[in-house]
Amino acid sequence: MRSGTSLLHRLILTSPDTGDRVAPARYIADFLLLSRTYMNSDSAFAADYFKSRDHLLAATSQFVRERLTDAWLNSGKPACLVVRTVEISPMIPVVATLLPDANFAVSVREPKDVIASILKVGEKQLKLGRDSPATRRDVSRLAKTYNRSYLAVFRAQLRDEHLRQRIVFVRYEEAAANPQKALEAVWTRFDLAPGSGVLADDPAVRASIKEILVHRVWRSYRTELSEAPASTRSVGSHKKALKTSEIWTVNWRCRALRRIFGYSGAEAGI
């Protein structure tokens, strides 16, 4: 969350091989989270309803494919369906197994800016009476969540060369500054016709997205850049939003990923 997935999604959709923007795939992500639970910790509750774990995986894959087919039809039957979700990042290894023909573009951003943006959302949600690590300003827990979002896929791709070829990491800072250059690996790796990378003001066309953007709670995730052209205005936003002690906490807790992503002064090793 807050790593630039909306920007990355919109930039990929500038390719002529992609269709209309569809709403985030949160429903599919929730279903995958549920399936993962019954594949692991609560597997006993599924044992009498599926012949085996492979049977459960196959049923999950079939359901997800059916939903993606519906989204593909609603998106105009493009050569490539591009869907966005922040929730499946820790589950990419499982999703890669369920959908062997899927590729993954993963947005990464300086963790301090990510957490600063989450806290800004938390301030809005606090006024709505919601409770979360963001509204409680729990920076340590947010840093842990940041790590958990990426570490599973890093460990999996180290073991699996084929999976490594299906994943492209895109730094938010580069996508905001030079979209065409930042997405070169996406076009090449995923065999997509290059997009323009140029984003005009992008008011939502689809009714579902309009509803999300004005929803009492979900609109709290919007910023002035949400539907706007690419901009570097939010790069370094943590400098005004985080205390010195919080900056130190994030740098320390996220030190491994900051080094891998090239945010620690060392060369990026994504």
In a domain, 24, yes or no: yes
Enter the pTM of the model. 0.91
Per-residue model confidence (pLDDT) at position 20: 87
CB 108 within 8 A of CB 3: yes
What is the CB neighbour count within 10 angstroms for residue 38? 18
The model's pLDDT over 26-58, given as tens digits with 9 standing for 90+, comes to 999 999 998 889 988 999 999 999 999 899 999
In a domain, 268, yes or no: no
Extract the tokens encoding 212. 């999300």
| Number of domains present in the structure of the chain | 1
**CB-based burial of residue 195 (10 Å sphere; 0-12 exposed, 13-18 middle, 19+ buried)?**
buried
First to last CA, the chain: 19
In a domain, 269, yes or no: no
In a domain, 266, yes or no: no
In a domain, 267, yes or no: no
In which domain, by residue range, is 27 found? Answer: 5-261
CB 62 within 8 A of CB 3: no
- What is the Cα–Cα distance from 270 to 266, expressed in whole angstroms? 12
Extract the tokens encoding 104. 């993954």
In a domain, 80, yes or no: yes
In a domain, 270, yes or no: no
Cβ neighbours of residue 88 under 8 Å, at least 6 residues apart? Answer: 25, 28, 29, 32, 95
Per-residue model confidence (pLDDT) at position 266: 52
Per-residue model confidence (pLDDT) at position 211: 86
What is the CB neighbour count within 10 angstroms for residue 22? 21
Per-residue model confidence (pLDDT) at position 119: 94
Per-residue model confidence (pLDDT) at position 203: 65
Per-residue model confidence (pLDDT) at position 163: 92
Per-residue model confidence (pLDDT) at position 226: 80
Query: Residue 99 maps to which CATH number?
Result: 3.40.50.300
In a domain, 89, yes or no: yes
Helices (H) and strands (E) in the chain, counts: 14, 2
- What is the Cα–Cα distance from 102 to 145, expressed in whole angstroms? 25
Q: What is the mean pLDDT of each run of 10 residues along the chain (270 residues)?
A: 93 94 92 90 93 92 96 94 92 91 96 95 87 88 95 89 94 95 96 91 76 82 82 93 96 95 69
